[in-house]
């Protein structure tokens, strides 16, 4: 056996299917075995592998073993001269393995190699080649020096930025997304260290291969797509903690005495520093527009009140402090909340949503105003003028956003998808039909079977999305064209017999797809808001019904606990029946689920998946209400 390929999968069925499609072509003429170790996926991955890829050796675990242990299970059974660890969210070219094997055969001291990786937009992934994370290297990376000096041998040894992207070179550390190893080297170094559940295991294994007397290479003569990239979950506090703790494990294992202590100090500083930055970045990215609207609205109303005092009332301090610092902020909060609930913060922005939000917010303020005591009724005119100004500043901020991002003054103009389908006519027609069924907002401009000058054609027609039909193209052609057409275009691939268009618009996203099964009500932002609003209103009603619930629900103490977690937004009243539903719109864990009321012990994985899919596809608030009413007693379970 020449080559053993090991893939560890967890809930990425569509990406795994595409990866195996590309592998099938790349190993046609090679003596190869392929292992898929499934870490208890709940998205139907195992059934898909068994039905569509019967030549794959499937190892289905009932629990999530982690990356290291999952790989080790297959490596122990591998019989190839070479062993490849491969991520499921990758696409390889038809000649990738030929080139890797030829290089390894010609370099007997090579213990392992990694290849040039790009993300779904064609951007080079710097984790394709890395240096050993010594204390100084870790320090420069953690505190941003590597980004400031990307080509420096001193400051960017982590991603060895001083080594050319398109040249093969000896490096220290390879990425576990594509780690092509000599089995003889693995036998000497041992398997992956299972102390690392996720992250760090590839650094540890790369270093042990070097310590065993072999060399690691960054091999630039072939390119693969790696959709997620190293940056996928860097916006998560959990990522910061798990990744940097893996670095501490590595330091304690390989560095001695003072080096280990210094490294641990840097890493603990990094956890605090990165964690703080992550919290601040997440808060800003999710709320910056709310903050801008609140500040501009307040500033405008402040100037209006000053004008009203000087030019209309002719009285200094006509509006007391409690008006400006209690009443006005309350008005602004109501306007912003109403605009949010009416879709005024959804992208693409809609003028009608902003006006509707301000209108209903003003009605709410007017209704409350009528019941206030006289000493709190300051001015109806300020309410009207404040509403007009708040609507105006919202239009100004959205117009500025669009002017910067889209070079357009129309806030409702966006980068609407103009799609180019690449393949033969039959498959392109199928692709066009699937796009329509999937509800994708893509205007198909043309079909192209000849790939010559594809980049120029995209430029002439203003194309911002290219969909490749892999039935009619080689994966090498697809990867090459992504590189040639540049990162201003979104790319997706339609595989033979599939109804999913797979791609990723950034290395910082986990990937995305269009699918007939993904034309879902629950995917719409408005319905996500309605679901959360339903949870909040239900929780408020349950306060009134607490005496009744004491006798109705099965476990009143647990019901109160559930009520608190739903009110705080940590849970929802109705969730999915399966926990691993990454292919469906995100929903927080449910107090009850879509299968509550059925004898779920007798429902298999596929049935539960279909129940969740139907819930997401046909979601409505009334559906949640019906499920809660039928299972009211179980709200305390």
Task: State the Cα–Cα distance between residues 144 and 33, nearest whole angstrom.
Answer: 42
Q: How confident is the model at residue 101 (pLDDT cuts 50, 70, 90)?
A: very high
Greater pLDDT, 275 or 321: 321
Q: Is the pLDDT of residue 254 over 70?
A: no
Q: How confident is the model at residue 458 (pLDDT cuts 50, 70, 90)?
A: confident
Q: Is the pLDDT of residue 498 over 50?
A: yes
User: Strand 512-515 to strand 500-503: parallel, antiparallel, or no bridges (unpaired)?
Assistant: antiparallel
Task: State the Cα–Cα distance between residues 197 and 125, nearest whole angstrom.
Answer: 23
Is it true that 3-230 and 417-516 share their CATH fold? Answer: no
Sheet-wide strand order for 490-494: 442-448, 417-422, 465-469, 490-494, 500-503, 512-515
Q: Give the pLDDT score at 216.
A: 97
Task: State the Cα–Cα distance between residues 119 and 482, nearest whole angstrom.
Answer: 10
Q: How do residues 172-215 score in pLDDT, each as one tens digit?
A: 999 999 999 999 999 999 988 877 666 678 888 998 999 999 99
Name the β-bridge partners of 110.
215
Q: How confident is the model at residue 232 (pLDDT cuts 50, 70, 90)?
A: very low
Task: State the Cα–Cα distance between residues 138 and 134, nearest whole angstrom.
Answer: 6
Q: Give the pLDDT score at 580.
A: 57
Q: How do residues 39-69 score in pLDDT, each as one tens digit?
A: 988 878 899 999 999 999 999 998 888 888 9
Closest C-alpha to 304, from 393, 373, 401: 393
Q: How do residues 36-45 score in pLDDT, each as one tens digit?
A: 999 988 878 8
Angle, helices 328-341 vs 525-544, to 10°: value is 120
Q: What is the mean pLDDT of the chain?
A: 83
Task: State the Cα–Cα distance between residues 150 and 152, nearest whole angstrom.
Answer: 6
Distance of CA 203 to the CA centre of its chain: 24
Question: Helices then strands (H, E): number in the chain?
Answer: 22, 17
Q: How confident is the model at residue 271 (pLDDT cuts 50, 70, 90)?
A: low
* Contact (Cβ atoms closer than 8 angstroms) between residue 115 and residue 128: yes
Contacts (Cβ under 8 Å, ≥6 apart) of 193: 68, 201, 204, 205, 253
Mean of pLDDT values over 252-279 = 64
User: According to CATH, what is the number of the domain 417-516?
Assistant: 3.40.50.720
CA count, 13 A, side-chain hemisphere, 423: 26
Q: Give the pLDDT score at 510.
A: 43
Sequence ranges of the domains in the chain: 3-230, 233-414, 417-516, 521-636
* Contact (Cβ atoms closer than 8 angstroms) between residue 469 and residue 428: yes
Q: How do residues 371-406 score in pLDDT, each as one tens digit?
A: 777 766 777 888 999 999 999 999 999 888 878 776
State percent of the chain over pLDDT 90. Answer: 36
Q: How do residues 583-622 score in pLDDT, each as one tens digit?
A: 678 888 999 988 887 654 556 776 777 788 778 877 888 8
User: According to CATH, what is the number of the domain 3-230?
Assistant: 3.90.550.10
Q: Give the pLDDT score at 229.
A: 46
Q: Give the pLDDT score at 12.
A: 86
- For residue 280, give the 3-state DSSP assignment: helix
- For residue 18, give the 3-state DSSP assignment: helix
Burial (0-12, 13-18, 19+ Cβ within 10 Å), 373? exposed
Q: Give the pLDDT score at 243.
A: 65
Q: Give the pLDDT score at 279.
A: 61
Distance linking the first and last C-alpha atoms of the chain: 54
Task: State the Cα–Cα distance between residues 562 and 257, nearest whole angstrom.
Answer: 48
């Amino acid at each position: 056996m020449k080559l053993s390929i090991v893939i560890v999968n967890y809930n990425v069925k569509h990406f795994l299917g595409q990866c195996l499609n590309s592998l099938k072509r790349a190993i046609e003429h090679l003596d190869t075995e392929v292992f898929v170790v499934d870490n208890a996926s709940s998205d139907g991955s195992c059934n898909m592998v068994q039905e569509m890829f019967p030549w794959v050796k499937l190892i289905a675990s009932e629990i999530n073993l982690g990356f290291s242990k999952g790989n080790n299970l297959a490596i122990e059974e591998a019989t190839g001269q070479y062993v490849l660890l491969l991520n499921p969210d990758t696409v390889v070219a038809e000649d990738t393995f030929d080139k890797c094997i030829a290089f390894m055969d010609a370099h007997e001291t090579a213990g392992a190699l990694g290849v040039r990786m790009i993300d779904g937009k064609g951007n080079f992934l710097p984790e394709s080649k890395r240096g050993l994370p010594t204390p100084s290297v870790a320090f420069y990376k953690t505190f941003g020096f590597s980004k400031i000096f990307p080509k420096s041998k001193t400051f960017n040894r982590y991603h060895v930025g001083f080594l050319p992207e398109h040249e093969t070179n000896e490096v220290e550390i390879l990425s576990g997304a594509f780690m092509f190893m000599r089995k003889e080297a693995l036998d000497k170094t041992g398997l992956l260290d299972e102390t690392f559940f996720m992250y760090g295991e590839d650094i540890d294994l790369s270093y042990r291969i070097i310590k065993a007397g072999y060399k690691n290479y960054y091999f630039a003569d072939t390119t693969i797509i790696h959709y997620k990239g190293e940056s996928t979950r860097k916006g998560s506090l959990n990522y910061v903690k798990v990744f940097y703790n893996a670095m501490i494990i590595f330091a304690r294992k390989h560095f001695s005495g003072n080096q280990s202590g210094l490294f641990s100090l840097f890493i603990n500083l990094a956890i605090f520093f990165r964690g703080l930055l992550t919290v601040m970045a997440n808060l800003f990215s999710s709320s910056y527009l709310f903050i801008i609207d609140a500040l501009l609205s307040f500033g405008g109303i402040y100037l209006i009140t000053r004008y009203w005092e000087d030019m209309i009332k002719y009285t200094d301090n006509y509006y007391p402090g409690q008006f400006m610092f209690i009443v006005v902020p309350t008005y602004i909060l109501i306007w912003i909340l109403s605009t949010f609930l009416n879709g005024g913060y959804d992208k693409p922005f809609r003028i009608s949503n902003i006006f509707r939000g301000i209108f209903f917010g003003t009605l709410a303020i007017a209704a409350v105003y009528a019941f206030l005591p006289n000493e709190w009724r300051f001015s109806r005119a300020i309410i009207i003028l404040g509403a007009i100004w708040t609507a105006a500043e919202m239009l100004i901020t959205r117009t500025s956003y669009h002017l910067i991002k889209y070079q357009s003054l129309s806030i409702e103009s966006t980068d609407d998808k103009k799609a180019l389908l690449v393949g033969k006519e039959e498959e392109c027609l199928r692709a066009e039909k699937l796009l329509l069924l999937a509800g994708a907002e893509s205007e198909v401009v043309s079909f192209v079977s000849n790939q010559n000058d594809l980049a120029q054609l995209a430029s002439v027609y203003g194309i911002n999305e290219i969909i490749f039909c892999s039935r009619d193209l080689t994966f090498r052609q697809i990867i090459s064209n992504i590189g040639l057409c540049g990162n201003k275009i979104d790319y997706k691939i339609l595989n033979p017999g599939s109804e999913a268009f797979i791609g990723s618009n950034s290395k910082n996203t986990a990937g995305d797809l269009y699918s007939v099964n993904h034309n879902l009500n629950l995917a719409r932002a408005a319905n996500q808001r309605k679901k959360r609003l339903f949870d909040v209103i239900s929780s408020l009603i349950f306060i009134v019904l607490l005496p009744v619930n004491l006798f109705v629900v099965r476990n009143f103490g647990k019901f109160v606990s559930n009520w608190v977690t739903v009110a705080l937004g940590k849970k929802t009243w109705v969730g999915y029946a399966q926990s691993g539903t990454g292919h469906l719109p995100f929903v927080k864990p449910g107090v009850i689920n879509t299968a509550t009321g059925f004898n779920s012990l007798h429902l298999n994985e596929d049935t539960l998946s279909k129940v969740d899919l139907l819930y997401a596809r046909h979601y409505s608030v009334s559906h949640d209400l019906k499920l809660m009413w039928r299972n009211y007693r179980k709200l305390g379970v």
